[in-house]
């Protein structure tokens, strides 16, 4: 009888995770180095928030759950793929000014506060639906 404890979708070490394998030139399966897997996981959702952005999110009651963070992360990835440096991300009636290089949200403006606002020092915009 198997008496191991399984939590949070953790697999036993003896099972090989297909996502941690790659094919070499001869087509054989080889393991991806741990540092590469760790880097992929870290980059999965790594968004920082400036103190200013944290204050704006709190004062404007803007909530970022896991789904919204994932969508924001994808928007930052899209901007980075196009070579953007400072981007305006429009998502769910909220405008985020993001430093793409640093993966940092600089500020956030909700719909109610957006009237007569001018966003400067941006080189791109990403609209998330």
Please identify every stretch of the chain with a pLDDT value under 50, giving residue numbers as ranges. Answer: 1, 6-18
Q: What is the pTM of this model?
A: 0.66
pLDDT at 59: 94
pLDDT at 24: 60
The separation between CA 104 and the C-alpha centre of its own chain, rounded to angstroms, equals 10
Closest to 47 (Cα-Cα) out of 70, 16, 22: 70
pLDDT at 112: 87
71-95 burial string, b = 16+ CB within 10 Å, else e?
A: bbbebbebbbeeebebbbbbbeebb
pLDDT at 75: 96
Angle (nearest 5°) at CA 122 between 93 and 66? 40
Strand partners, 107: 97
* 3-state secondary structure (DSSP) of residue 90: strand
Question: What distance in Å separates the CA atoms of residue 88 and residue 95, rounded to the nearest whole number?
Answer: 7
* 3-state secondary structure (DSSP) of residue 78: helix
Structure tokens at 46: 């790594």
pLDDT at 8: 46
Task: Express each pLDDT in 39-76 by its tens digit.
Answer: 665 555 689 999 999 999 999 999 999 899 999 999 99
Which residues lie below 8 Å from residue 81, measured CB to CB, with a gap of 6+?
Answer: none
């Amino acid at each position: 009888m198997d008496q191991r404890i399984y939590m949070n979708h953790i697999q036993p070490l003896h099972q090989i995770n297909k996502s941690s394998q790659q094919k070499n030139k001869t087509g054989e399966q080889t393991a991806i180095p741990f540092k590469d897997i760790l880097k992929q996981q870290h980059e999965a959702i790594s968004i920082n928030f400036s103190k200013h952005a944290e204050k704006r999110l709190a004062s404007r009651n803007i909530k970022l759950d896991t789904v919204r963070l994932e969508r924001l992360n994808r928007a930052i990835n899209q901007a980075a793929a196009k070579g953007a440096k400072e981007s305006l991300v429009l998502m769910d009636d909220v405008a985020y000014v993001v430093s793409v290089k640093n993966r940092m949200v600089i500020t956030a403006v909700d719909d109610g506060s957006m009237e007569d606002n001018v966003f400067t020092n941006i080189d791109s915009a990403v609209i998330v639906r």
